Amino acid sequence: MNELHYFDRKQDYEVVNRKLPHWSQPGTVCFITFRTADSMPRHVIERWQADRLAWLEDHGIDSLIVDWRQRLRDLPTLEQQDFYRTFSTRWHSELDQSHGRCELRDPALAKIVGDSLLHRNGDDYYLSDFVVMSNHVHLLAAFATGTGVLKQCESWKRWTARKINESLGRRGRFWQQDGFDHLVRSEEQFQHFRRYIAINPTNAGLKEGEFLHWSSQA
């Protein structure tokens, strides 16, 4: 692959529901975030979930029903945008608070992640940008198949967790099991995510050497 496409509802796409819904469409660029297992304290998650529940209830949606996400998609566009903007922005802001041990501040460990992301770039996927933060990773990539994003993320996390744990002399879960992904809708949104990735270390207060940023434009 050597080009990016944006999400097109007229073309085939797939939605896989795990703890989070994962939308996929062959060749469509996707903004992906995955985080370390200790990056979000329980009290932060519980507060975020409670506020999200309150928002849904205020809009007549019971989050305990199976199809609550479809009910959300039935709301007016501006209300949907408010929901995703509010809770996605807040989630990513919490990640930038550098909770947990933040092992990825170590340049050697960040390089393990970066090398893994670049290993099959241009063959199994097309990578546009990434940043390895102290406790999470953001990237933009497109995959040839609809199922490629989940399989590749699992491969990245499995391989890097093993290598990082070996370097730290320990065992156990390194990455949180489920990640966040969003199919990019437009060139404007694509450029927004590129800027977000580039300035994320500054917004999080990280110093040079405490993060790893890569862009295909460089």
With tokens 């156990």, the residue in question is 172
pLDDT (0 to 100) of residue 66: 74
User: pLDDT (tens digit, 0 to 9) for every residue of the chain, 218 residues total?
Assistant: 556 787 666 666 666 555 555 666 788 899 999 999 999 999 998 998 899 899 999 999 988 887 787 888 899 989 988 988 888 888 889 999 999 999 999 999 999 999 999 999 999 999 999 999 999 999 999 998 777 788 899 999 999 999 999 999 999 999 998 778 888 989 999 999 999 999 999 999 999 999 999 999 86
Q: How far apart are CA 75 and CA 67, in angstroms?
A: 13
Cβ partners under 8 Å of residue 47, min gap 6: none
Q: How far apart are CA 190 and CA 52, in angstroms?
A: 26
CATH tag for 14-35+105-215 (out of 3.30.230.80, 3.40.50.10140, 3.80.10.10, 3.30.70.1290): 3.30.70.1290
For the residues of 43-108, what is the DSSP string, one character each? HHHHHHHHHHHHHHHHTT--TTSTTHHHHHHTS-HHHHHHHHHHHHHHHHHHHTT--S--GGGSHH
H or E element in which residue 126 lies: strand 125-132
pLDDT digits (tens, 9 = 90+) for 6-35: 766 666 666 655 555 566 678 889 999 999
Q: Contact, 160 vs 20, CB < 8 A? A: no
* Identity at 173, one-letter amino acid code: R
Q: Is the dihedral of CA 174, 52, 92, 33 positive or negative?
A: positive
pLDDT digits (tens, 9 = 90+) for 102-130: 999 999 999 999 999 999 999 999 999 99
The residue among 216, 11, 195, 35 whose CA lies nearest residue 125 is 216
pTM of the predicted model, to two decimals?
0.85
* CA-to-CA separations, 101 to 14, 66, 165, 174, in angstroms, rounded: 35, 35, 13, 11
